[in-house]
Amino acid sequence: MIDKGKRSVLGVGVNVVDYEGAVARIIAAAQDKKPLGVSALAVHGVMTGALDPEHKFRLNRLGLVTPDGQPVRWALKLLHGESLPDRVYGPNMTLYTCAKAAEKGLSIYLYGSRQEVLDAFADNLRAKYPGLKIAGSEPSKFRTLTAEEDAELNERILASGADIILVGLGCPRQEVFAYEHAEALKRPVLAVGAAFDFHAGLLKQAPKWMQDRGLEWFYRLWMEPRRLWRRYLYLNPLYVSMIACQKLGLMKKRFAAEEMPADTVRYG
């Protein structure tokens, strides 16, 4: 098991952790009823923090940030000499967490996406892990929640008795949610995004050979060019150039210092 703490990737703290270490942290927090904001960040997720000081503050307040993409894993090696056997991919971490939750008698709550996605996701999880308890589910409202709605959502999740909350709101909204809600819920809150669509059977994952070579972005761009072109064709080259700057010791303050706290923004 690997769990060696965080290292800076463009100023965003990314944990040097493997699947076993990440799932162990999540399960321990669930059993102890302790808050734990969790996100799995690929290049796009890291760049949301690197380009936005307020969001970087949020990301750096999450308890566990895993290297979701191979380029993030490679950056840990290049910048800090930290070798990991594999990335810690959000959709896989979701399944490993659910498997361990079923084994330990812990329940999960699904929040985000659309009701049809939640239903299919829940059905597939129950089929895969017959002992898994799904305490509840609730789709996104696809708008900003009022303070009253936000408090009521917390009450519903707590009333369900859920031990682990899985959130699929898309990046960066789901990371904001994890940052805002983990403390109030005293539970691990996992921002796992595409895991909802993948495990509901509504979105295909890239072939493993592409994932292993850091080419998942190309597959997703091919599948959803209108939605994702800017994310990959603009942010990927910028990520590479900024990683080079960090490696060369340029812009040290930007890649290490934290900015002032952000105002709270509620997403639903």
Q: Tell me what pLDDT residue 235 has.
A: 86
Answer whether residue 81 is part of any domain: yes
Answer whether residue 268 is part of any domain: no
User: Whole-angstrom Cα distance, residue 107 to residue 134?
Assistant: 5
Answer whether residue 237 is part of any domain: no
Within a 10 A sphere around the Cβ of 236, how many other Cβ atoms?
18
Q: Tell me what pLDDT residue 255 has.
A: 77
Q: Tell me what pLDDT residue 202 has.
A: 74
Q: Which residues contact 244 (CB under 8 A, 6 or more apart)?
A: none
Q: Tell me what pLDDT residue 203 has.
A: 66
Answer whether residue 266 is part of any domain: no
Q: Which residues contact 231 (CB under 8 A, 6 or more apart)?
A: 44
Answer whether residue 129 is part of any domain: yes
Any idea what the CATH number is for the domain that residue 200 is in? 3.40.50
Domain range spanning residue 192? 3-205
Domain total for the chain? Answer: 1
Which of 200, 202, 30 is CA-nearest to residue 38?
30
β-pairing, 64-67 vs 36-41, is parallel
Per-residue pLDDT of the chain (268 residues; tens, 9 = 90+): 999 999 999 999 999 999 999 999 999 999 999 999 999 999 999 999 999 999 999 999 999 999 999 999 999 999 999 999 999 999 999 999 999 999 999 999 999 999 999 999 999 999 999 999 999 999 998 888 889 999 999 999 999 999 999 999 988 999 999 999 999 999 999 999 788 988 887 766 767 776 777 777 666 766 667 776 677 778 889 999 999 999 999 877 777 655 444 444 444 4
Q: Tell me what pLDDT residue 222 has.
A: 67
Q: Does pTM surpass 0.95?
A: no
